[in-house]
Structure 1
Amino acid sequence: MATRRITKSSINWLALSERVPEHQRAQYLAFKAKSDGYLRRVMSNPEQAPAIDWAFYKSKVPVAGMVDEFQKQYSALSIPYPPDTIKPQLDSLEKEIKSDIEKFKSESNTRIAEYKKQLAHIASLIPYDQMTMEDYRDAYPEDALDPINRPTFWPHTPEEQIDYVDKDAQPHH
């Protein structure tokens, strides 16, 4: 598998910078500095390793055949580029996250539509400071005091009513 020379960072740092929260800015800048330093070190090295001058070594090494043996072993040496086994996992994770995002967006749009209906209903009502008790009962029948059908006692909280049962209370033995 052939490798390709890295010539520039494939990260859009400007777009990433816009998404970094203010409290994580220092970590982001440290990460960017490390990445830039790595890219500079890679670019400072030549793309190909320097060629070995075998003739020079043959003239300097007194042991016969030693340089030829090294040259043969060196040319036979092939270090394969490691296979990418992580990319499929990342692709499936990315698809899963994108589907979760789309689901959240559709659910959010449903909630937004419901909230807009509620806002429209509230906007259509008489302002609270101009309502009478009857207007409030008509607008909010479940919250309004109804002394005939649901009589309550002051302060009209559930705990103060005659039929109230404490759910957290321990049973008596």
Structure 2
Amino acid sequence: MAKRFTKPTINWKELDKLVPPNQRTNFLAFKAKSDNYLRRVQANPPELPKIDWKKYEALVPVAGLVEKFKKEYEGFKVPYPEDKLLSATIDEQWKALQPEIKAYCDSAQKDIEVATKKLEKIKSLPKFEDMTMEMFYDLYPNEALDPVNRPTFWPHDEESQLGYEEKKAKIDAKEAQTKK
């Protein structure tokens, strides 16, 4: 007889941590089905009930019929499926992938650390409502307006500044020079 499962082999707590919020209802439905199946299996006895063959021999008038059934019943074996996928090769492939998985996890952890540092830096800034132009200039000198060293005109974009030439005009001028 095959091995009887007495408890779930799935670590539901760890799996629960990995489920995204939008898939939570599907996960709970799957867990309920799995638990229901396990309860149904455990409700039955682990072994098949024993048959009282002598009782049936006394009740059945056809000679040899009960003996024939007994012989076939005891000779019947439920075939256990053979491993056609070669689990050993799958295990070897899994072991071969472990360094790759570890390297990916390490690089992802480094990315997480960089993002966490950036997030901490952003959280340490004053709120947008509380920040003054001087604070912004001190924090981001390259992005802030600098009327003394880099004066600009409203709306402070490239096209509105003195000395701006359209990019298309520059390209046309270069093409004209190369043709001559």
Please, what TM-score do these two structures have when normalized by structure 1?
A: 0.58
Residue ranges of structure 2 left out of the alignment (5+ in a row): 169-180
Matched to 2:132, the amino acid is D
Aligned equivalent of 1:51: 50
Aligned equivalent of 1:140: 141
Cα gap change, 1:3 to 1:106, in 2 (>3 Å): farther
Report deviation, 1:48: 0.6
Cα deviations by residue, 1:36-68 (Å, 9 ceiling, x for unpaired): 221221111010111222223333333333333
Residue ranges of structure 1 left out of the alignment (5+ in a row): 167-173
Contact 2:53 2:70 survives alignment (8 Å) = yes
Aligned equivalent of 2:110: 106
Cα gap change, 1:110 to 1:25, in 2 (>3 Å): closer
Name the Cα RMSD after superposition.
4.5
- Report the identity percentage: 35
Moved beyond 6 Å, runs of 4+: none
1:163 maps to which of 155, 162, 165: 165
Aligned equivalent of 1:170: none
Report deviation, 1:102: 3.8
Aligned equivalent of 2:77: 78
Please, what TM-score do these two structures have when normalized by structure 2?
A: 0.56
Cα gap change, 1:165 to 1:146, in 2 (>3 Å): farther
Tell me which of the two structures has the higher relative contact order, counting C-alpha pairs closer than 8 angstroms and 6 or more residues apart: 1
Aligned equivalent of 1:119: 121
Cα deviations by residue, 1:112-157 (Å, 9 ceiling, x for unpaired): 45x38x939x97xxx963739xx93995236545887x77553121
Matched to 2:154, the amino acid is W
